[in-house]
Amino acid sequence: EAQVTQNPRYLITVTGKKLTVTCSQNMNHEYMSWYRQDPGLGLRQIYYSMNVEVTDKGDVPEGYKVSRKEKRNFPLILESPSPNQTSLYFCASGSSSYEQYFGPGTRLTVT
Amino acid sequence: GQSLEQPSEVTAVEGAIVQINCTYQTSGFYGLSWYQQHDGGAPTFLSYNALDGLEETGRFSSFLSRSDSYGYLLLQELQMKDSASYFCAVKTGGGKLIFGQGTELSVKP
């Protein structure tokens, strides 16, 4: 089954404790991206990757890191999480940036 | 700045037709996409317009006017399962995609 998977689905953590949210796709897509969704703000792009070893900033990259060492994986790293990073996070992939397949989401709470 | 404007809420009855508008102001424009999202679940792709005109996919159609910086999503023969949030999104260049704040559609019996 073609899919984008994210782990964990739910995470409660404390300020400053480094965490990684994994994202994997099995559709051989070159393009992958991370978004955060907050009430009333829609989806905001954090980082995207056009191919292996190629990453670039979206609209809200501060406080986040990504890497793309393999085509199928695109982890999101929060080196020192803060409460304002409490959000619903989505990973997506696609053969193009305009048609993306989204993962199920990761609900992160930082206390 | 970059902005996409769409109505926050729309209500319609089952079987009716509804149009969700999207106007945009962005520094670059390559095309307009539409996504559907049910109750905080994964957004799903509906359509993409790169050129002016109407694109039809079953009960859903999407329209774009680049000269007016405007597009819309048209949903026909509304069903209860169409109750969801709908987002327009502009591809501005490279891999960047900017989303609107979403329109919550409520379909009433």
Q: Which of A49, A59, A100 sits opposite B45 (nearest CB)?
A: A100
Which residue in chain B is spatially nearest to A48 when comparing CA positions? B95
Question: What's the average model confidence in pLDDT over A91-102?
Answer: 94
Structure-block tokens of residue B39: 């109750």
The tens-digit pLDDT sequence of chain B (109 residues) is 789 999 999 999 999 999 999 999 998 999 999 999 999 899 999 999 999 999 998 999 999 999 999 999 999 999 999 999 999 999 998 899 999 999 999 999 9
How far is residue B49 CA from its own chain's centroid?
11
**Burial code of B14-51, b = ≥16 C-beta within 10 A, e = fewer?**
eeeebebebbbebeebbbbbbbbbeeeebbebbbbbee
- The C-alpha of B108 sits at a distance from chain A's nearest C-alpha, in angstroms, of 23
SS (H, E, C) chain A: CCCEEEECCEEEECCCCCEEEEEEECCCCCEEEEEEEECCCEEEEEEEEEECCEEEECCCCCCCEECCCCCCECCEEECCCCHHHCEEEEEEEECCCCCCEECCCEEEEEC
As a whole-number percent, the residues of chain A with pLDDT over 90 amount to 91
**Per-residue pLDDT, B2:** 84
A58/B96 CB distance under 8 A: yes
